[in-house]
Amino acid sequence: MVRTPLTPEERERGERLGRLLREARGSRSMVEIAAGAGISAETLRKIETGRAPTPAFFTVAALARTLGLSMDELAGQCTPVEVAATPAAAVA
């Protein structure tokens, strides 16, 4: 199965979700939160750093529950925003 590449907006939304989760975690350990949500610390690390920008719904729901966040709040703060594409000439 080939996965279509993510758009810049989807990557930005994933990075924003990661930042929100990291801020909500505060001083609690990654291991503690991951265990409470039933996921591995490595999965949480990938979500928080944006390396897993499209986590499964139930993963996000479990993290929200563990962190005391509402899904409505997370969804509202992670709405897509338009990201300007970098021109190919500027990348080279």
State pLDDT tens for residues 1-46: 788 898 999 899 999 999 999 999 999 999 999 999 999 999 999 9
Q: Could you write out the three-class secondary structure of 4-58?
A: CCCCHHHHHHHHHHHHHHHHHHCCCCHHHHHHHHCCCHHHHHHHHHCCCCCCCHH
pTM score = 0.81
Cα separation values, 70 from 7, 9, 55, 77, 88, Å:
26, 22, 16, 11, 39
